[in-house]
Structure 1
Amino acid sequence: MSKLMNNVPPRVQAATVRATYALPKALRRLLVGAPIRIDGQELALDAQLLLVLEKLAGYKLADGTPVQARERLAASKALVSGPPIEPVAVRGLTIENDIPARFYTPDGLGEDVPLLVYYHGGGWVVGSLDSHDNLCRFLAIEAGVKVLSVDYRLAPEHRFPAAADDALTAFHWAVKNAAELGIDPDRIAVGGDSAGGNLAAVTAHQAVQAGGPKPVFQLLFYPAVDASVRRRSRELFAEGFFLTSDDMDWFSDHYCPDLAERSDPRFSVLLAEDLTNMPPAYVATAGFDPLRDEGEAYAEKLKESGVATIARRHPDLIHGYATFIGVGTRFKEATYEAAATLKTALALT
């Protein structure tokens, strides 16, 4: 089936996916079979259908070489992210002469406004400005912010801590260039999904430790925050729910092959000795995600450290849902909640 799908033009594949999601609910349920229930949770029909389509297409997140994995992710973007969300002005930028970035300004948004510095997911190995373009458009419009999407260096060409270094550099660059960007330097948030959520949290922690300007908020979608242990959710959802346990090993082995370095707070920020004075946070996790428990452990540690934190589990969703906003309705609902939370938090700052 995967070889057959490779011969189908992306536009046709995307149209087929949209048509499948447009079927009556009863037909979609018939296609996917009985509901999946694990750990007291029932998987959303939208998520179950996406997993069935993924299996039919033979798609694997982490397989082969990093270049092959990047190409697969790029090809799949049109299937799940949807057509470009408008109206948003988009332009390319270069941070500190060598880090590519993309700057989003929603139509009608003026000057001296909040900024979200966003780090894309992809296990520090795959992902790009393009793979997360529509998510950044969505967040810009729905949260009423400008967005700076950062194309940090990827592994294995650039191993740990290259991505973390680029992430922190991008935040400091945004602060220094606030006037040029038309943003308020005192209302800069950081955000990201998965590995990008890791980089956002690491950036916030590094900025706090340095004692200089720090982000005012952390917007974290299913972040990877501790590579030192295997928690219960990793065993429960090791296979069959988009991100697998083997995928996680593949990503970590490329990004940080030295096991001793995986306890470094610049990688496993949950292990940082001190999380006091961290920015307020919205930490969203998905019920059917091997990363679920570590994300929730991070939210709990922030709370214990006196940090205002919203811990939100979407019990019916899978890893990656924020990038699936072009199909069905459930993924977009969950992502809208995050955008609305960011908007409110920045309005109160």
Structure 2
Amino acid sequence: MAYAVACTRLSCLPISSRPARAGKHVACATSSRDEEVAKPAEVRVRLPWTGDIGPREIKLLADAFTDPKLLSSVPSIGGYMLRNGTAALRHQASILRGGPGGKVGGGSATYPSSWSGPFAFANELIAGFLEAVSASNELERYRSRTRGEGEEEALRRVGEYVRGLRGLMAVGIAPMPGTKVQSIEIDGRSAVWLTPDGKSWDHPDAPRRTVMWMHGGAFILCSTNTHARLLSSLGIAAGAKVLSVEYPLAPDEGRYEEMLSHVVEAYQWLTSPSGGGVDPGSIVVGGDSAGGHLAVGLVQRLMSSEVAKGPAGVVLMSPWLDPGRDDPATEDAWNSARDTSCCYLRGVKDSLKVVHDLVFERVMEEEEENELAFSYLPPRNMLRRELWDGERASRCPPMLVQYGGAEVLAAESRNFVRIASESGIEVTSQEFKDLPHVFQVFDALEAEGERAIQSAGAFVSDVCKTS
């Protein structure tokens, strides 16, 4: 969610042609009438900041900028962002003049004195984007649907809307200089390697230490492109290559069960001699926000397996672990988010309830039929103590949990750390006071973001050495 406003314009160079490497790269092709030579799925567009974007992003961009319904919503999205960004600038100007600063972003939250002007501005731009998205009539139509007539049409419209939003975000943010970005395919879906020092992921001198990451985005948005800077920064800090898993997104590509199944298959590929060829002892899995839920779901699957060997460690950044708000502390945090938090998620309480219902519909049905049958589908609420007790806990690798003290999901992280610690799991908790959701993405604007990434890198290095 933190990269919701990552791209505001598209600047592409001409399509280029490069030799294909089977199984590792998606080939490029020049224009041609020969379908054997130039298949649409092979076309990639070169971007100024790194390398290229693939067919998925190209289609998203085309959909976004040719869809009248989405284009009609762009002015309102921009209006919300402008309102919030302007409030942030006024607040900072008041502080510079010695004034109190006052309210920001249409709410009663005020910024901590430690925030820089650019950091506050970026936070409020994202808040404005998310607030505009949450006001969407398409989401409200799905939320008010019945199980009878009209459900399929409402779901189709939601799918169109979120595909358009993904298109607006498809260009993304540049990775750190020197990072080599390579696309591969796992189980018919894209995955991306980000390797420091410009080496290919399978080069003999590339790091063996590996981070397998699931990006955030509320299970419906974002991609490797939106998270490229965060992942490349983490790879550099850890001295590791990073595999970013492009799991299916709701509602059009899949629900939670398809997402988790693909994540499990990606881990199996990564550890297979015929796939990534990485020893589990050299792997740390992780995720931010919704990706953190998938990372924990993967760990749960591996803890339940008598065959698969788990990773050396787990890194969670602002994980979204109780999306149904089953825990009272989670519900309390969301009820007070708009009035008490400067986190940019403060205005999305209702829309995330819609997302939860979209993503976890079949999981909820399974829970109703057999509440403790976790072997088929993990629960929505990863704060359930029975998930972490007994022999299962003994198979859990060390964990690092980072979160912002000002974010609405802080209560979930605190409860998770407490439950894991009481179950005997080795867990390190790092709360960064006064910072918002997945603040690590602001590492260029906020020193604590850089410090958190360095700490996560040190954790990856340490657990991979000792495993």
- Aligned match of 2:327 in 226, 229, 245? 229
Q: Whose radius of gyration is greater, 1 or 2?
A: 2
CA separation in 2, counterparts of 1:165 and 1:137? Answer: 25
Matched, 1:191 2:286: yes
CA separation in 2, counterparts of 1:248 and 1:44? Answer: 29
CA separation in 2, counterparts of 1:205 and 1:289? Answer: 25
Match for residue 85 of structure 1?
A: 176
Equivalent pair of 1:233/1:293 in contact (CA under 8 Å): yes
- State the TM-score, normalized to the length of structure 1: 0.80
Equivalent pair of 1:43/1:288 in contact (CA under 8 Å): no
Matched, 1:291 2:409: yes
Match for residue 53 of structure 1?
A: 125
How many Å apart are 1:339 and its aligned residue? Answer: 2.4
Equivalences for residues 127-146 of structure 1 within 5 A: 127-146=222-241
Equivalent pair of 2:290/2:320 in contact (CA under 8 Å): yes
How many Å apart are 1:328 and its aligned residue? Answer: 4.3
Equivalences for residues 235-246 of structure 1 within 5 A: 235-238=335-338, 241-243=343-345, 244-246=348-350
CA separation in 1, counterparts of 2:447 and 2:407? Answer: 19
Report the more deviating stretch, 160-169 or 315-324.
315-324
Gaps of 5+ in 2: 12-77, 137-157, 200-204
CA separation in 2, counterparts of 1:84 and 1:57? Answer: 23
CA separation in 1, counterparts of 2:255 and 2:451? Answer: 35
Matched, 1:254 2:372: no
Equivalent pair of 2:400/2:429 in contact (CA under 8 Å): yes
Q: Give the count of matched residue pairs.
A: 330
Are residues 57 and 114 of structure 1, via their aligned partners in 2, closer, same or farther at CA, if it must alter by over 3 Å? closer
Equivalent pair of 2:195/2:206 in contact (CA under 8 Å): no
Equivalent pair of 2:442/2:449 in contact (CA under 8 Å): yes
Matched, 1:325 2:425: no
Equivalent pair of 2:385/2:419 in contact (CA under 8 Å): no
Match for residue 156 of structure 1?
A: 251
Equivalences for residues 100-115 of structure 1 within 5 A: 100-107=190-197, 110-111=205-206, 113-115=208-210
- State the TM-score, normalized to the length of structure 2: 0.61
How many Å apart are 1:250 and its aligned residue? Answer: 2.7
Equivalent pair of 1:196/1:223 in contact (CA under 8 Å): yes
- Aligned match of 1:171 in 267, 272, 277? 267
How many Å apart are 1:169 and its aligned residue? Answer: 1.3
CA RMSD, aligned part only? 3.7
Deviations 1:96-142 (A, max 9, x none): 3x121001221177256111110000111111121112211111111
CA separation in 2, counterparts of 1:73 and 1:27? Answer: 34
Gaps of 5+ in 1: none
Are residues 82 and 55 of structure 1, via their aligned partners in 2, closer, same or farther at CA, if it must alter by over 3 Å? same
The AA in structure 1 aligned to 2:431 is R
Equivalent pair of 2:127/2:344 in contact (CA under 8 Å): no
Are residues 193 and 66 of structure 1, via their aligned partners in 2, closer, same or farther at CA, if it must alter by over 3 Å? farther
CA separation in 2, counterparts of 1:114 and 1:173? Answer: 16
Match for residue 419 of structure 2?
A: 301
CA separation in 2, counterparts of 1:272 and 1:29? Answer: 45
- Where 2:405 maps in the other structure, the secondary structure is strand
Deviations 1:50-101 (A, max 9, x none): 23334667864545345444544664687xx7543121222111113x1210
Equivalent pair of 1:238/1:290 in contact (CA under 8 Å): no
Bigger strand share: 1
Report the more deviating stretch, 140-149 or 255-264.
255-264
Equivalent pair of 2:173/2:226 in contact (CA under 8 Å): no
CA separation in 2, counterparts of 1:283 and 1:57? Answer: 27
Deviations 1:228-287 (A, max 9, x none): 235232223246632232242132122113545577634322226242121110011212
How many Å apart are 1:319 and its aligned residue? Answer: 1.1
- Where 1:234 maps in the other structure, the secondary structure is helix
